[in-house]
């Protein structure tokens, strides 16, 4: 018997409920696969497949406070999540289509018991054999959110600056008016390539923390709203404010060949950040050195206080190597930008942070990456080209 025939027979042997469960697991598995592919492209270390293919099915915690997992939310929307979920999963496991494990999940603020589900190779083949092409979800481009996270971001965009309370929702609150789950908020805060999409705050007079969308999250929403409308047409998402470079649909995510005179996406992230710092005349290193001198003068006797060297105030806008690595995931971008064919776009300065006899909590010498004249000219000349090529990279006018 061929593999394709065996997969088709496995699908045919399932009832309607089992197919919905297996399809929900399959879609979550494909979302995770794309998430991992995006991290690999960004040169972010990822765990072995045996770990990242394990999906959370259920968590042992109060639903009213923490909500449901991604798979549970999908099944609930289809009216198929109930007390018989365990029996359905067990039936799929007996057929070798999924693997069920019991373990623990770290939610950041606590560790809770968790039921994990892993789609097996036969299970993946069964879904692909059983679903017609037009019934399969549209392939999500790298960099876009899964449906449940897009729905969460849409809620926060709709709420605006006022935000949404993280306290318990009043009884009878509809699903679309409930604050996103803690799992969704964590993902929107910690796992996005271009920065945090949410901000937590405590309003005056409130005992509950609230959450609101950040400028970075708002930009992502406005930039990709048309793409998400094609991907997830059933998600309630209000029309966005117009934004330069906004996509018109998924076709805008089609791979485009990078012209030779333009740099790679990580390199552009560094150039854009340097241009932003220069536009605001900001330098985190300069601020840090000034703070160290201020701290030193506050702790010593008045006669031991020192004048801040003029060289400190003259430190130009720039990025330290840790700042570069946080922005581009690697410091290798610096060497590439220095070796740019048309002339180095950045230079590395050796900043002497301290002075003899003054103890500062800093290395005596710090490398600072700065734009060159050629770099400034390159950014000014090609900013709009980069906006079209890498629309998710914030530029000087985006913050």
State the average pLDDT for the chain: 85
Residues 131 and 233 in one domain: no
Q: Which tokens sit at 237?
A: 């998402």
Instruction: Please enumerate in sequence order all residues whose Cβ is within 8 A of that of 105, keeping only pairs 6 or more positions apart, or say none.
Output: 56, 59, 111, 112, 113, 114
CATH, residue 373:
1.10.10
Residues 352 and 307 in one domain: yes
Of 219, 253, 287, the one marking the end of a domain is 253
Residue 396 lies in a domain: no
The count of domains in the chain is: 3
Residues 302 and 371 in one domain: yes
Residue 309 lies in a domain: yes
pLDDT in tens, 61-86: 776 556 678 888 888 877 776 778 88
Of 203, 229, 253, the one marking the end of a domain is 253
Residue 128 lies in a domain: yes
Residue 275 lies in a domain: yes
Beta carbons of 41 and 142 less than 8 angstroms apart: yes
Residues 157 and 249 in one domain: yes
Q: Which tokens sit at 51?
A: 């770990």
- Say whether pLDDT at 283 is over 90: yes
Please classify residue 309 by burial: count the beta carbons closer than 10 Å to its beta carbon, then call 0-12 exposed, 13-18 middle and 19+ buried. middle
Residues 119 and 50 in one domain: yes
Q: Which of 243, 153, 230 is nearest to 191 (CA)?
A: 153
- Calculate mean pLDDT across residues 158-186: 80
Residues 95 and 165 in one domain: no
Residue 294 lies in a domain: yes
Give me the residue label for tokens 């039936």: 91
In angstroms, rounded to a whole number, what is the distance separating the alpha carbons of residues 33 and 65? 29
Angle at 306 between CA 301 and CA 312, to 5 degrees: 145
Residues 232 and 270 in one domain: no
Q: pLDDT band for 88, please (50, 70, 90 cuts).
A: very high
**Residue 63's pLDDT is what?**
65
Residue 398 lies in a domain: no
Residues 299 and 359 in one domain: yes
Structural domain of residue 181, as residue ranges?
147-253
pLDDT in tens, 230-247: 888 888 899 999 888 788
Q: Which tokens sit at 167?
A: 């306290």
Of 253, 282, 307, the one marking the end of a domain is 253
Beta carbons of 344 and 374 less than 8 angstroms apart: yes
SS3 245: coil
- If you write DSSP's letter for every residue of 287-311 in order, what string do you get? HHHHHHHHHHHHHS-GGG--PPPHH
Q: Which tokens sit at 398?
A: 């985006």
Beta carbons of 220 and 191 less than 8 angstroms apart: no
């Amino acid at each position: 018997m061929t593999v394709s025939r065996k997969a088709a027979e496995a699908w045919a042997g399932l009832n309607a409920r089992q197919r919905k469960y297996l399809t929900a697991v399959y879609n979550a598995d494909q979302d995770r696969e794309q998430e991992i592919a995006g991290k690999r492209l960004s040169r972010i270390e990822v765990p072995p497949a045996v770990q990242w293919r394990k999906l959370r099915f259920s968590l042992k915690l109060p639903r009213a406070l923490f909500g449901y997992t991604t798979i549970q939310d999908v099944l609930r929307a289809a009216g198929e999540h109930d007390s018989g979920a365990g029996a359905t999963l067990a039936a799929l496991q007996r057929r070798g289509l999924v693997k069920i494990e019991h373990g623990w999940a770290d939610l950041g603020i606590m560790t809770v018991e968790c039921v994990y589900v892993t789609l097996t190779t036969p299970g993946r083949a069964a879904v692909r054999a059983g679903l017609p092409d037009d019934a399969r979800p549209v392939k999500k481009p790298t960099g876009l959110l899964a449906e449940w996270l897009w729905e969460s971001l849409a809620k926060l965009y709709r709420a605006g600056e006022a935000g949404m309370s993280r306290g318990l929702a009043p009884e009878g609150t509809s699903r679309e008016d409930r604050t996103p789950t803690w799992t969704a908020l964590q993902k929107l805060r910690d796992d996005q390539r271009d920065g945090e999409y949410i901000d937590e705050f405590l309003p005056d007079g409130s005992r509950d923390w609230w959450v609101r969308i950040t400028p970075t999250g708002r930009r992502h929403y406005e930039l990709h709203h048309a793409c998400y409308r094609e991907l997830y047409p059933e998600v309630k998402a209000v029309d966005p404010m117009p934004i330069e470079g906004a996509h018109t649909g998924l076709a805008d995510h089609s791979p485009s060949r990078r012209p030779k005179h333009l740099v790679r996406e990580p390199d552009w992230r560094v150039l854009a950040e340097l241009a932003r710092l220069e536009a605001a005349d900001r330098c985190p290193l300069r601020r840090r050195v000034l703070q160290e001198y201020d701290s030193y003068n506050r702790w010593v006797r008045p006669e031991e206080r020192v004048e801040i060297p003029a060289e400190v105030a003259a430190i130009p806008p720039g990025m330290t190597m840790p700042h570069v690595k946080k922005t581009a995931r690697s410091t290798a971008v610096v060497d590439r930008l220095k070796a740019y064919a048309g002339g180095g776009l950045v230079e590395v300065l050796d900043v002497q942070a301290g002075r003899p006899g003054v103890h500062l909590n800093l290395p005596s010498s710090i490398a600072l990456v700065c734009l060159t004249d050629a770099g400034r000219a390159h950014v000014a000349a090609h900013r709009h080209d980069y906006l079209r090529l890498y629309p998710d990279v914030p530029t000087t006018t985006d913050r």
